[in-house]
Amino acid sequence: MPSAPQRALELYGIISLDVSGATSPVRGVNVLAFRDLGALVADASYAAPAATPNHVAEYRRVVEGAFARQTIVPAPFGSIFRSRESLMRWLELHYFTLLEAVTFVADRAMARVVVSYGDEPENTTAMSIDADLLDNAADESFRLLRRHAVASVVISNHAAEVGPAARASFLIERERWDVFNDIVREEQKRLREMHVECTGPWPPYDFVRMQFGA
């Protein structure tokens, strides 16, 4: 009698087994071990998942739930492997890169900083002028904040639907999180006509790039 076909697996992220062993740090997902790394996975259909609110919320629940307990390298949303064997081959192929990634983000958290105007511009001309002024102010703030971060990336520096906004992410040592937030608050005082908002601590979503090609 032929065996039932294997289910595909959705990958949520990579963790170190030195911290939790083979026990999943989050309910509802399993740990697939390879050497001292663990892949957080759940059964899935072999198809790209729709980015529905429920699916995105589940992805965030798993990644952020694990992050609250230990280091995790998040996989991009909707990372699907055909089978356990294909995921194990990928883990073997990228083992050293993944190990370096886990080591790099260990004891670090991501901050997202948004610099924006509080009031919506009255017209497109005002929006263009405001965008230029905001870009200059945000660039100066981001340069300052980079001095207190391990790494940084500018997400966008363009007009948003409700007016200009500049966004950047910063990878921060956990022990310096309060210091970083104090500096953001000082920037808010300096840029009185703008909003400077910092959210987090987040998993290092914006600092991970995974290769899934053959």
Q: Please state, in angstroms and rounded to a whole number, the distance separating the CA atoms of residues 194 and 153.
A: 21
Contact 53, 59 (CB under 8 A): no
The pTM of this model reads 0.82
Which of the 8 DSSP states describes residue 83?
S
Q: What stretches in the chain show pLDDT beneath 70?
A: 1-6, 19-21, 118-132, 156-163, 212-214
Q: What is the pLDDT of residues 85-116, one digit of tens each?
A: 999 999 999 999 999 999 999 999 999 999 88
